[in-house]
Amino acid sequence: MSQLEPIATRIAFVASDRPEALEARERLAARYGDAPEGQAQVIVALGGDGFMLETLHRQIETGAPIYGMNRGSVGFLMNEYSEDDLLERIAAAERAVIHPLQMTAVDVHGFMHKARAINEVSLLRQTRQTAKLRISIDSKVRLSELSCDGALVATPAGSTAYNLSAHGPIIPLDARVLALTPISAFRPRRWRGALLAHTARVTFEILEADKRPVSAVADNFEVRDVLEVHVAEDRDIALRMLFDAGRSLEERVLAEQFSA
């Protein structure tokens, strides 16, 4: 259960740019008050899953708990929208703690780029040419050459997103593992990826980078023409999401494994 105060009275409402989200923010702020984000006990995010990720990224340094309500097209990470009994719902909410990934990418010009990902870090071919990747785990080469459209490393929270679309495994939140999943692997054709300990450090080396350019994406942050990408879980950061009682993120991930 949530470890917040019994009733959180300082709430900050944030909304995506969708009209229904902006209208909901005005109504909720008028009804419950609207504290500045830096002073709020809870942040209520109004939008879809993409906006929830944006809000989580903004709160990486503060760790403020975020309660989402769906005013977008996809709402896997959101609660149902209702304007009634909001304070009581937040007080009774269940908490999910998420540790993001840290991506460090070096491009062909030698510049280093760092970014965090809550869902996944993905490598994607930039042209019609198939990407060629060498994959090392904890400095040991595990796959000397993967010909593919790309590959990704997903957190448990992100395992139901792009990772699932790429036929990767769904991971329970408390499993303490990461998913390493190929995207349209051509050779070795039968390689379907791997489950890694959450402490694993993954290194991608881009082979023939001049002929087969690759971009690296940490959620919505993209670096093009990369030579090398390092990915590891950042245990120093704990992001907190709140879900209605009986509809925890753990329950949603479990239910997803039995959906048709």
Residue 196 annotated in ligand binding:
no
**What type of residue sits at position 63?**
G
Q: Is 107 part of the annotated catalytic residue set?
A: no
Residue 149 annotated in ligand binding:
yes
Active-site residue among 17, 34, 49, 219?
49
Residue 49 annotated in ligand binding:
yes
Residue 160 annotated in ligand binding:
yes
Residue 162 annotated in ligand binding:
yes
Residue 136 annotated in ligand binding:
no
Residue 219 annotated in ligand binding:
no
Q: What is the dihedral of CA 208, 209, 213, 217, to 10 degrees?
A: 120
Residue 17 annotated in ligand binding:
no
Residue 234 annotated in ligand binding:
no
Tokens of 223: 């670096």
Residue 168 annotated in ligand binding:
no
Phi-psi region for residue 208, left (φ > 0), alpha (ψ -120 to 50) or beta?
left
**What type of residue sits at position 85?**
D
Residue 195 annotated in ligand binding:
no
* Cis geometry, peptide bond prior to residue 169 (ω within 30 degrees of 0): no
E strand or H helix that includes residue 231: strand 226-233
Quick one: DSSP state of residue 250? H
DSSP letter string, 97-162: EE--EEEEEEETTS-EEEEEESSEEEEEESSSSPEEEEEEETTEEEEEEEEESEEEEE-TTTTTTH
Annotated binding-site residues for NAD(+) read 49-50, 119-120, 149, 157, 160-165
Catalytic residue numbers read 49
Annotated binding-site residues read 49-50, 119-120, 149, 157, 160-165
